[in-house]
């Protein structure tokens, strides 16, 4: 199985397990069993607010990330014709959930809240020092199981492993949570 198919199946797996969400007002103590609740909803679908029919922010982000896989690297780029690392992050968050972020890895590092590497969640931003200056110079989006997606200057938008890839493992600086998904 090639790398692109593996990425697709990983994202599909994440998508599958995150698609079903119980309604906010559902409680385990209700007399409906989960099976009955799913087969016979307690409310008419016409009564559900329009937003319930839309994808969750997490799913929107995942769909947008998937659409960028394979996009070539272009310094200063911010669209599917070509992106740099911060342009990729900026474009994905803007398009998926309407969140405007700065187009600079250094400026992105000042956004949100710091997150411990062992408590990373989907959508967290990962930061690296890849240049000679020692300053933050690269950013990616955490997926799951130490995998993250980013715009590599040599390969374009790809998925890499934070632990198995020695290059990124040794250059990892920290992570930030921009928003709760």
Q: Which residues are identified as catalytic?
A: 85, 138, 150
**DSSP secondary structure, the chain, as one string:** --HHHHHHHHHHHHHHHHH----TT--TTSSS-HHHHHHS-SS-GGGS-GGGGSPPHHHHHHHHHHHHTTPPB-TT-EETTEE-HHHHHHHHHHHHH-----S-HHHHTTSSEEE-GGG--TT-EEEE--SSS-S--EEEEEEETTEEEEEETTTEEEEEETTT-HHHHHHEEEEEE-S--
């Amino acid at each position: 199985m090639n790398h692109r198919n593996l990425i697709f199946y990983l994202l599909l797996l994440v998508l599958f397990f995150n698609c079903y969400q119980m309604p906010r007002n559902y409680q385990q103590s209700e007399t409906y069993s989960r099976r009955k609740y799913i087969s016979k909803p307690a409310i008419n679908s016409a009564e559900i607010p329009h937003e319930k029919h839309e994808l969750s922010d997490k799913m929107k982000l995942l769909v947008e990330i998937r659409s960028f896989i394979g996009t070539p690297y272009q310094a200063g780029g911010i669209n599917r014709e070509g992106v740099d690392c911060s342009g990729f992050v900026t474009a994905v968050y803007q398009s998926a959930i309407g969140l405007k972020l700065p187009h600079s890895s250094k400026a992105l590092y000042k956004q949100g809240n710091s997150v411990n590497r062992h408590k990373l969640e989907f959508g967290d931003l990962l930061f690296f020092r890849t240049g000679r200056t020692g300053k933050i110079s690269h950013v990616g989006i955490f997926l799951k199981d130490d995998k993250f997606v980013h715009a590599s200057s040599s390969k374009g938008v790809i998925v890499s492993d934070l632990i198995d890839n020695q290059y990124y493992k040794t250059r990892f600086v920290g992570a930030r949570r921009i928003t709760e998904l």
